[in-house]
Amino acid sequence: MNRKRRFGDRSDGYKVRSLAPMFKVSPYIMKKRSDACNFLDDSIDIENAEKYIAEKRKEGLKGLGMLHLIVAAYVRTISQRPGINRFINGQKIYARNNIEINLAIKKDMKLNSMDTIIKLEVKPDATIKDIYDKFNTIIEENRTEGDVSNFDSAARVIDYIPGLVKKFTVWLLSFLDYFGLLPRFLTRLSPFHGSFFITSMGSLGIPPIYHHIYDFGNVPVFCSYGAKRTQFELNREGKVIEKKYVDYKFVTDERICDGHYFASALKMFKSYMKNPECLTNPPEEVVEDID
């Protein structure tokens, strides 16, 4: 839906005006995202996910993995529960105009290799193949050495600024962002602006961590997931069976929607992970957020 920009809207989102007073007041009480963090950890039975990934690899999606699946499931969840794609700036709640996924990658899996941030902008009706194609293209582009991405270039420019001036520059950016005056090209390359940040501890072979969400910018959700693990359980017949799981942790900004809404979204996310076949095709309907 194309919305006409109104007074109080931002370049990256529109102000949600129909919320209950409690939601409008809470950002003035919990002024920072770090004041309003909720922490959740859970596990996913990946039996169906692994079968689905194997089938898709045979169909030509080489390198398809858990990262693509988690991102696709979360994007699909946003398409049905758009409230989790809201954000807060300047003590106001906004519905984001798009879906932006942020991911930190190493240009090479070595201790001292360069890190960079990639951002992926997708539509709410994206399929697993859409996610796969966009992610693979941008990751390969950014794994070459040097300042390839706009983020790399911008970070290097800021790094050249002397310390006190750098501190003022960051303050000025925060000031402009507070009032919604930060140019859109800056929020597009900023790793601190986006729908959610995801990090894979699985690629490092360790469990997931609770990763803080940043006060600078407006990312409302941080997702971390770990390495696959095996667990032995008793089935209904009393036999010991082997199950595989992936653990994940979410840190969320509780001010963007209520607990019931978050719970509904997280149940939906888990359902998509358990039944990934539904991510092959676009959703039947994309739900719009409230005005």
Other C-beta atoms closer than 10 Å to the C-beta of 239 total 8
pTM: 0.92
Per-residue pLDDT of 235-287, as tens digits, reads 888 899 999 999 999 999 999 999 999 999 999 999 999 999 999 999 999 99
- Between the alpha carbon of residue 108 and those of residues 59, 117, 197, the distances in Å are 28, 13, 20
Q: Are 223 and 74 in contact (CB under 8 A)?
A: yes
Tell whether the model's pLDDT for residue 65 goes beyond 70: yes
Beta bridge partners of 87: 94
Beta bridge partners of 245: 45, 229
Q: Pick from 216, 11, 183: which is nearest to 97 by CA?
A: 11
Structure tokens at 120: 């992926």
CA distance 285 to 287: 6
Beta bridge partners of 228: 246
Helices (H) and strands (E) in the chain, counts: 8, 9
At residue 173, the 3 state secondary structure works out as: helix
Q: Is residue 162 part of a domain?
A: yes
Q: Is residue 8 part of a domain?
A: no
Residue 54's CATH number = 3.30.559.10
Residue-by-residue DSSP string for 60-113: T-TT--HHHHHHHHHHHHHHH-GGGGEEEETTEEEEESSEEEEEEEESSSSTTP
More confident site: 145 or 261 = 261
Mean pLDDT of the chain: 91
**Is residue 160 very low, low, confident or very high in pLDDT (cuts 50, 70, 90)?**
confident
Tell whether the model's pLDDT for residue 220 goes beyond 90: yes
CA distance 245 to 48: 11
CA distance 221 to 180: 20
Q: Is residue 290 part of a domain?
A: no
Q: Is residue 188 part of a domain?
A: yes
What residues make up the domain containing 173? 13-279
Q: Is residue 73 part of a domain?
A: yes
Q: Is residue 102 part of a domain?
A: yes
Q: How far is CA 199 from the centre of its chain?
A: 9
Structure tokens at 92: 């106001």
Q: Is residue 35 part of a domain?
A: yes
Counted domains in the chain: 1
Q: What's the rounded mean pLDDT across residues 181-209?
A: 92
Q: Is residue 284 part of a domain?
A: no
- Between the alpha carbon of residue 87 and those of residues 4, 27, 37, 286, the distances in Å are 19, 11, 13, 19
Per-residue pLDDT of 71-100, as tens digits, reads 999 999 999 999 999 999 999 999 999 999
Q: Are 208 and 201 in contact (CB under 8 A)?
A: yes
